[in-house]
Structure 1
Amino acid sequence: MSHFNLINTLYDRGLISHITHKDNLQKLLQSNFISLYCGFDPTEESLHVGHLLPLIVLKRFQMLGHKPIVLIGGATSLIGDPSFKQKEREFYCSKNIDIWTKKISKQISCFLDFNCGRNSALLLNNNKWFKKINILSFLREIGKYFSINTMINRSSVKQRISRPDQGISFTEFSYNLLQAYDFFLLNQMHEVNLQIGGADQWGNISAGMHLINRKSKKEVYGLTVPLLTQSNGVKFGKTESGTIWLDANKTSPYKFYQFWMNIEDKNIYNFLKMFTFISLSEIKKKEEQKYIDNKIIEDKTDLAKNITRFIHGEEKLLAVERITEFLFLKGLQNITESDLQQLKQDGIPAIKVEKKIKDLQEALVLASLATSRTQAKNMIFANAISINTQKIKINHLFKNQDKLFGKFTLLSRGKKNHCLICW
């Protein structure tokens, strides 16, 4: 991948939703190394799979010698980005944001190279400049460049204004100016001339380009990556049991791996292009041969392995493969006590039980395989529940023979959801 065809490569991989002045940006990349940035507001203690594409694009730029800057929104997260949100975000306290900033910063440091010389990645926090800012100076020097008419007509704002039950607060309305100011300052301090973000950030990125052009008479660029949704319209990375986080303590590597194994077959080859660094020619070859000996399953496994390795590392991937081998291939016929200890250590969902469990319904709720006793009961009667891989058709009372080596019981819902009860 050369500097000249980087933008074309991003297009070919489905990684561009919007881009400004494509030809000019391509010429700039051909002749110069640039600095680019992407912002992440710490509104949770972890990033999730929806944040992966911007990080992958930053990494692709860095691999070609460009300097990626990650901006943590320590200040902007106190305001909340209204972009395409149905209602006002919950306000978070500074203490939480400080804790989440440290955790997210640590996560990001695993994706980019922060020690490779001239194009080492840089991690900044916009709280550094916003905590010193004077509101009157900001309104005079920055606010004057923004037309209320233009801001109101942005689709993300119009959507909220048209809903009288929600509307939009001035606090959220001002977010657009704050992100624009970030781009302006980074352009001044670090010569950043490209901002990337999700497709929902197009309005905020455009505002930054407008401000830089008006104040500094410079041409800068914006690039957004697609926002992915599943066939049911649910945002990619959300499942019936919650968000798929990048933090191994919030989503185990095993569950993370299974998320990718459970994607729809029609998405496999697009996701290989978007989320992995496998060459396009190799992916094309895979797609052409997908129906030969059912290679499509092999390709989905490749996708799951590549992304799990990228996020959690080789050691955690090997652990996931051990769990998968036992649950889907070996079964429990020849399992040993050390195997079960290893499964627990490797990260299969597990619960420790110190009191007597009343019945199977209670166990399913405790194991988070059911949300209520009623749902658990329905699952049992639907023949969806197994104990140690054996189907259970009635509300079972646990016996000593259910405890493998007197210590473990594998509780399963269907073929893909498991929990190890540790007695």
Structure 2
Amino acid sequence: MHIIDDLAERGLLQQTTDDQGLRNHLNENVVTLYCGFDPTADSLHIGHLLPLTLLKRFQQYGHRPLALIGGGTGLIGDPSGRSTERSLNSADVVKGFTEQIQQQIERIIEFKSDGSNGAVKNNHDWLASLTFIEMLRDVGKHFGINYMLSKDSVTSRLEQGLSFTEFSYMILQSIDFKNLYEKENCSLQIGGSDQWGNITAGMELIRRTRSEQQEEEADVYGLTVPLITKSDGTKFGKTAGGAVWLDPEKTSPYEFYQFWINTDDRDVIRFLKFFTFLSLEEIDQLEKELEKAPEKRMPHKRLAEEMTKLVHGEEALKQAEKITEALFSGDIKSLNAEEIEQGFKDVPSVTIDEKESGLIDLLVTANISSSKRQAREDIKNGAVYINGERKQDLAYHLTVEDRLDDRFTIVRRGKKKYFLIRFES
């Protein structure tokens, strides 16, 4: 199957600048392509996974992807898809973000040390040395104001206000494409549909500068993927706790796994096509499983498995699955301290230093029960569990034996209300 057909069948094709020309170009060449990622935070989030997996998909078809980190453009800020201007970070902060993002990209896309199958690049390497006069004389003269004003990334911001800094972003991204074309033989830029104007501007700059040098017309292309929406109308990649990050310190592998496994039934097959490298035939089979036995949630589990393994690795996937199973079965004692930290990251917690504590007092101290009277009722009614075991003895005292890894006790009240008790060492 041609990669363009694969993308189309997966619903990943929004726009191309020349569909047939691009097909022929990909058939006849090992194509170097790129996508940019601006370091606006210390981690990428799952909204970046679509372009990342797209680069990896092209690599699997034998092409050469470049993941371009915007160490230079990240100092400016892309106005595309935004209603307000970004806050500008210092050069040191952007440099730190860049290093962390590079590590994340290299965990998802495997690059050989010689760069033959792709690489991570940083546009700070060429933009930082560009003088303002050079940009105006050599680049700016190729950008008509009317042309720039016609781009969606600009027109959508004119009423709210657009600074010259953000207005210039299109020129900087165009310089990126031109530089990668000349230095890396990069002939294809990909991105989200909101990047269409920036992509076509870069193509136009390459063609104009080559025309100046009286060379043959450049064979360059652009391709965009759709912006992801969820069937329930909520924004993709957002949870009650905020964004879903690729950094395990910001979003644990367990939380990451849970995000995917809780995908809406209406979205799960679409997301399998978008994000995973499963064959379309296997995804069709999973869709049939969903129709036949929706309660088993087989596509959801497969989606969670594939994405957690891709981003965090096999061991992290096993750990996320273990936590999930322990919480489902109530076998809390099977978890170690790290797994408890992940699985109970967002539940109410309290730190105490007592070596021994009466259960009634503990329930009140930790705000698990509203009063001692309520605590007694909860215990007598069998609503209180310590590390997964029901406790109905009003005189029960917690001891060191009730501590997991000598650090935690998990209290459950009712079916789903968990509380984490931390013990000071």
Q: Same fold (TM over 0.5)?
A: yes
SS of the residue aligned with 1:347? Answer: helix
Provide, for residues 4-53 of structure 1, a one-character-per-residue CA deviation record: whole Å limited to 9, x for no partner. Answer: x1101011111222211011010111111110011111111111100001
1:26 to 7, 11, 23: 23
SS in 2 for 1:290: helix
Equivalent position of 2:66 in the other structure? 69
In structure 1, distance between residues paired with 2:412 and 2:264: 22
1:277 matched residue in structure 2: 277
Q: Shift in Å at residue 234 of structure 1?
A: 3.9
1:268 is aligned to: 268
Partner in structure 1 of residue 289 of structure 2:
289
SS at match of 2:246: coil
Match of 2:374 in 1: none
- Aligned pairs for 1:129-140 (under 5 A) are 129-140=126-137
Tell which deviates more after alignment, 412-421 or 247-256. Answer: 412-421
**Offset of residue 290 of structure 1:** 2.0
Deviations 1:93-139 (A, max 9, x none): 11111111111111111122211767322111111111111111211
**CA offset at residue 157 of structure 1?**
1.7
Partner in structure 2 of residue 347 of structure 1: 342
How far apart, in 1, do the equivalents of 2:310 and 2:418 lie? 24
Q: Which residue of the partner structure matches residue 107 of structure 2?
A: 110
3-state secondary structure, aligned to 2:65: strand
Decide which structure has the larger Cα Rg and report it: 2
Distance in 2, matches of 1:244 and 1:189, equals 35
1:80 aligned onto 2:74: no
Task: Please list every run of 5 or more consecutive structure 1 residues that lacks an aligned counterpart in the other structure.
Answer: 366-384, 391-398
2:204 equivalent among 176, 197, 210: 210
SS in 2 for 1:77: helix
Q: After TM superposition, give the deviation of residue 60 of structure 1 in Å.
A: 1.1
Superposition pairs of residues 17-416 of structure 1, within 5 angstroms: 17-115=14-112, 119-163=116-160, 167-216=161-210, 217-231=217-231, 233-294=233-294, 297-328=297-328, 330-332=329-331, 335-336=332-333, 339-341=334-336, 344=339, 347-350=342-345, 353=351, 388=386, 400-401=397-398, 405-406=402-403, 407-410=407-410
3-state SS of 2:157 partner? helix
2:290 partner SS = coil
* Separation in 2, partners of 1:353, 1:26: 61
- Contact 2:289-2:298 within 8 A present in 1 as well: no
Secondary structure of the structure 1 residue equivalent to 2:297: helix
Q: Give secondary structure in 2 for the equivalent of 1:344.
A: helix
The one-letter amino acid of 1:259's match is F
Cα 1:118–1:247 change in 2 (3 A) is closer
Change (3 A) 1:360 1:58: farther
Equivalent-residue separation in structure 1 for 2:242 and 2:364 (angstroms): 21
The Cα offsets for residues 162-218 of structure 1, whole Å up to 9 and x where unpaired, read as: 23xxx0100011001000110011101111000111121111111101111211231
Pick closer, same or farther for the CA change 1:387–1:211 going to 2, 3 Å. farther
- CA–CA distance in 2 between the matches of 1:122 and 1:183? 15
User: What's the CA shift string for 1:66-100, capped at 9, x where partnerless?
Assistant: 11111111110110000121101011011111111
User: Quick one: distance in 1 between partners of 2:201 and 2:291?
Assistant: 47
Contact 2:180 2:186 in 1 (8 A): yes
The CA distance in 1 between the partners of 2:149 and 2:384, in whole Å, is 55
Cα distance change of structure 1 residues 281 and 116 upon mapping to structure 2, 3 Å threshold: farther
In 1: Cα distance, 2:413 partner to 2:198 partner: 44
CA distance in 2 between counterparts of 1:141 and 1:362 reads: 70
Return the alpha-carbon distance in structure 2 between the equivalents of residues 403 and 255 of structure 1.
29
How many angstroms does 1:293 deviate by? Answer: 3.2
Q: State the SS of the aligned residue for 1:211.
A: helix
The residue type paired with residue 351 of structure 2 is V
TM-score w.r.t. the length of structure 2 is 0.83
Listed as ranges, the gaps of 5+ residues in structure 2 are 211-216, 369-382, 389-395
Distance in 2, matches of 1:182 and 1:133, equals 12
- Contact 1:323/1:346, CA 8 A, preserved across alignment: no
**Amino acid paired to 1:197:** G
Task: Tell me how far 1:419 sits from its aligned partner.
Answer: 6.2
Cα distance change, pair 103–415 in 1 and its aligned pair in 2 (3 A): farther
* 2:323–2:339 Cα contact (<8 Å) kept: no
Q: What secondary structure, in the 3-state scheme, does the structure 2 residue paired with 1:324 have?
A: helix
Offset of 1:411 from its aligned partner?
5.6
What is the alpha-carbon distance in structure 1 between the residues aligned to residue 228 and residue 411 of structure 2?
33
Equivalent AA in structure 2 for residue 341 of structure 1: N
Contact 1:209 1:219 in 2 (8 A): no
Comparing 142-151 with 283-292, greater Cα deviation is found at 283-292
What is the percentage of aligned positions where both structures have the same residue? 43
Distance 2:67 2:364 in 1: 47
* Cα distance in 1 between the residues matched to 2:166 and 2:362: 49
Shift of 1:421: 3.3
SS in 1 for 2:182: helix
Report the alpha carbon displacement of residue 260 of structure 1 after superposing the two structures with TM. Answer: 0.6
Q: Which residue of 2 aligns with 1:382?
A: none
The secondary structure found in structure 2 opposite 1:197 is strand
* TM-aligned CA deviation for residue 408 of structure 1: 2.6
